[in-house]
A and B are shown apart, each in its own frame.
Chain A
Amino acid sequence: NAGVTQTPKFQVLKTGQSMTLQCAQDMNHNSMYWYRQDPGMGLRLIYYSASEGTTDKGEVPNGYNVSRLNKREFSLRLESAAPSQTSVYFCASIQDLGSRPQYFGPGTRLTVT
């Protein structure tokens, strides 16, 4: 099993450009999450999907949209990138909701100039 995979690994965008970060998991997990990690801030939840067909906002959703394409895939879209969105983005998944840990993908390092 590959676990949680993310593409691309690195990306540089100019202000105003758009892009989609892809995430896929092969563990048959129901719930998936997108986080961003910034120095001194810890990981912050952007959006999550409790199950296929549902998505909800997390702590910092502004400037992002998500799509739960199917059970395996959960994408994050930046419609008009801003320098404040320079960060490392992690996708995570878990079998179902409950008090269990999440498993993370390797991350996407995004720089917006």
Chain B
Amino acid sequence: RKEVEQDPGPFNVPEGATVAFNCTYSNSASQSFFWYRQDCRKEPKLLMSVYSSGNEDGRFTAQLNRASQYISLLIRDSKLSDSATYLCVVNYGGATNKLIFGTGTLLAVQP
């Protein structure tokens, strides 16, 4: 079983749609969680951190369920510019600040 699992997609949605991505992680000791965005042939860039109480940044909402070891990302009112791969990332913390990356979910927003 992969340490961080995501549905690879692709998710093809029309502009204005709401889309949700899910991610599960296997290590219950994981300490912090992030969503990164990666455009084609570019480096990953931090989209948002994920907090236990849930957090929102504009059209983006992230949720964490520690009991179920589950993270989600909700994108409302999708824009063409949201088309990218979304990476779920888990940090085990400790002495290495080691990040474990999911393989990503591809989102394609259609006009």
A and B bind: yes
- Asked if A94 and B97 sit within 8 Å, CB to CB, the answer is yes
Contacts of A44 in B (CB 8 A): 101
The reply to whether the CB of B31 lies closer than 8 angstroms to some CB of chain A is yes
| B69 close to chain A: CB less than 8 A | no
Complex CA gap A31/B99 in Å reads: 13
| CB interface residues, B 1-18, toward A, < 8 Å | 4, 8
A104 and B99 contact, Cβ closer than 8 Å, known pairs A42-B87, A99-B31, A99-B32: no
- Chain B interface size, as a band, is 20 to 34
A31, B97: Cβ atoms under 8 Å?
Answer: yes
Q: Within residues 61 to 113 of chain A, which ones have a CB less than 8 A from any CB in chain B? A: 90, 94, 97-107, 109
Q: Mark A29-63, 1 if CB is under 8 A from B, else 0.
A: 00100000000111111001010000010100000
Known interface pairs A48-B96, A50-B95, A50-B96; A100-B101 also in contact (CB < 8 Å): no
Contact A98 B101 (CB under 8 A): no
Query: What's the interface size class on A, roughly?
Result: 20 to 34
Q: Contact: A100 with B103, CB < 8 Å?
A: no
The verdict on A99 contacting B93 (CB below 8 Å), with A40-B103, A41-B103, A42-B104 known, is yes
Q: Give the Cβ gap from B72 to chain A, nearest Cβ, in Å.
A: 18
Seen from chain A, the residues whose Cβ lies within 8 Å of a Cβ on chain B are 31, 40-45, 48, 50, 56, 58, 90, 94, 97-107, 109
Name 11 interchain pairs, CB-CB below 8 A, sorted by A: A31-B97, A43-B44, A43-B99, A48-B98, A50-B96, A56-B96, A100-B32, A101-B36, A101-B46, A101-B49, A106-B43
